[in-house]
Amino acid sequence: MQMTKTLGEFIIDCQAEYPEATGALTNIFSAIRLAAKIVHREINKAGLVDITGAAGLENVQGEQQQKLDVYANDKFKAALAARGDVCGIASEEEEEYVYFEEGHSPDGRYVVLMDPLDGSSNIDVNVSVGTIFSIYRRVSPVGQPVTAEDFLQPGDQQVAAGYVIYGSSTMLVYTTGNGVNGFTFDPSLGVFYLSHPNMRIPQEGKIYSINEGNYINFPAGVKKYIKYCQEKDAATNRPYTSRYIGSLVSDFHRNMIKGGIYLYPPTHSHPNGKLRLLYECNPMAFLAEQAGGKAVAGPDQRILSLQPTELHQRVPLVVGSTTMVEKVESFLREDQ
């Protein structure tokens, strides 16, 4: 029986198609792969060692950091710092961007932005969580310290993006702008194998994902869309099914495979939305578009076209099956 292609083999094969490729992305993905394996190991023994619960600290957003937040951030940062191709990182868990000092990566041409452990509050109850990452070419001179401008680039400048989901199986899903591919981790061999080639989001789905506990604070257009999802209409296969895990990676991954829509709209307490443009929205939007889906912050506001203004900027997010996203846009336009 022919073995499935490994992540390393797949990346090298893709690199071979571009004679000008330097191998830098291959090295960066090797670092991400290594850190993902380490985090996978700790998550899978979370009930056996003292790695669950709050760390007693808050991140820059004022959110309670979990022990695994800190652990995952440290492991991904160390793995990336060890590669000479990355000159700096920005993380949801770090107040400022981190420059890898000379001696580590003086000639690094890439920066990485990441949410090291999305949905970490779910660890204690054994719910899937994930890592989200985004890769850009630096715009500042090589050999010099990185600048804020290296990180504040619009999403359409991403070189690559992806996520790792730690669930019933651990998967790494990524794009370099030529479609989306998913790799499942075989813990017995310590290898990621290609399991989901050329992933595509169905144009229409039957699942909507939103925290309806905030319903009273949603914009009128979002409220109307929720009621639309709940109406009975055989012609459009409604009512839809509500599924909300509370971990962006998990909700997005399900909708990527089955079709559906994820919404995190503005509320009274978070008028600009709650999700971070650089660490969550941009990488997920890149993946969605590469898989045939769509991602917007509002009607006719493509996520990947937004110009970031600050490192931890928040924006609303509507992402998933194209026809479903466009239906939300139509409801929002009516209430402008």
- Residue 76 shares a structural domain with residue 107: yes
| 3-class secondary structure per residue, 57-123 | EECCCCCEEEHHHHHHHHHHHHHHHCCCCEEEEEECCCCCCEECCCCCCCCCCEEEEEEEEECHHHH
* pLDDT (0 to 100) of residue 2: 47
At position 108, the amino acid (one-letter code) is G
- Residue 72 shares a structural domain with residue 96: yes
- Residue 159 shares a structural domain with residue 307: no
Record the pTM. Answer: 0.92
Lowest mean pLDDT among 13-27, 200-214, 265-279: 13-27
CA dist 83 → 22, 133, 143, 153 (Å): 14, 16, 15, 22
Q: For the chain, where are the alpha helices, taking DSSP H only? A: 7-16, 24-43, 67-81, 148-151, 220-230, 248-258, 282-290, 322-334
* pLDDT (0 to 100) of residue 276: 97
- Residue 254 shares a structural domain with residue 148: no
Closest CA to 264 of 332, 307, 319, 311: 319
Does residue 201 fall inside a structural domain? no
Gap between the Cα atoms of 113 and 103, Å rounded: 21
Gap between the Cα atoms of 80 and 78, Å rounded: 5
- Residue 38 shares a structural domain with residue 183: yes
- Residue 160 shares a structural domain with residue 259: no
Q: Which domain holds residue 271?
A: 207-334
Does residue 45 fall inside a structural domain? yes
* pLDDT (0 to 100) of residue 234: 94
Q: Is 293 helix (H, G, I), strand (E, B) or coil?
A: coil
Does residue 2 fall inside a structural domain? no
Q: DSSP letters of 28-49? A: HHHHHHHHHHHHHHHHTTTTTT
* pLDDT (0 to 100) of residue 19: 55
CA dist 118 → 122, 229, 245 (Å): 9, 27, 12
Q: Categorize the per-residue pLDDT at 55 as very low, low, confident or very high, splitting at 50, 70 and 90.
A: very low
Cβ partners under 8 Å of residue 125, min gap 6: none
Does residue 202 fall inside a structural domain? no
* CATH number, domain containing residue 37: 3.30.540.10
Gap between the Cα atoms of 304 and 286, Å rounded: 7
Cβ partners under 8 Å of residue 126, min gap 6: 47
- Residue 176 shares a structural domain with residue 220: no
| Chain position carrying tokens 């506001």 | 301
Does residue 114 fall inside a structural domain? yes
Q: How many residues does the chain have?
A: 336
- Residue 101 shares a structural domain with residue 222: no
- Residue 179 shares a structural domain with residue 51: yes
- Residue 22 shares a structural domain with residue 167: yes
Does residue 127 fall inside a structural domain? yes
- Residue 91 shares a structural domain with residue 29: yes
Q: Which residues share a beta bridge with 86?
A: 110
- Residue 69 shares a structural domain with residue 184: yes
Question: Given 150, 168, 196, which residue is the final one in a domain?
Answer: 196
| The pLDDT of residue 229 is above 90 | yes
Give the DSSP H or E segment for 136.
Answer: strand 129-137
Gap between the Cα atoms of 66 and 53, Å rounded: 6
Cβ partners under 8 Å of residue 334, min gap 6: 221, 224
Question: Given 196, 222, 246, which residue is the final one in a domain?
Answer: 196
Task: Using CB atoms within 10 Å of the CB of residue 198, give its burial: 0 to 12 exposed, 13 to 18 middle, 19+ buried.
Answer: exposed
Does residue 126 fall inside a structural domain? yes
CA 180 to chain centre: 13
Question: Given 132, 167, 196, which residue is the final one in a domain?
Answer: 196
Q: Categorize the per-residue pLDDT at 48 as very low, low, confident or very high, splitting at 50, 70 and 90.
A: very low
- How many structural domains does the chain have? 2
| The pLDDT of residue 1 is above 70 | no
* pLDDT (0 to 100) of residue 204: 95
Does residue 318 fall inside a structural domain? yes
**298, 315 Cβ separation under 8 angstroms:** no
* CATH number, domain containing residue 254: 3.40.190.80
Q: What is the pLDDT of residues 115-143, one digit of tens each?
A: 999 988 777 788 899 999 999 999 999 88
* pLDDT (0 to 100) of residue 49: 45
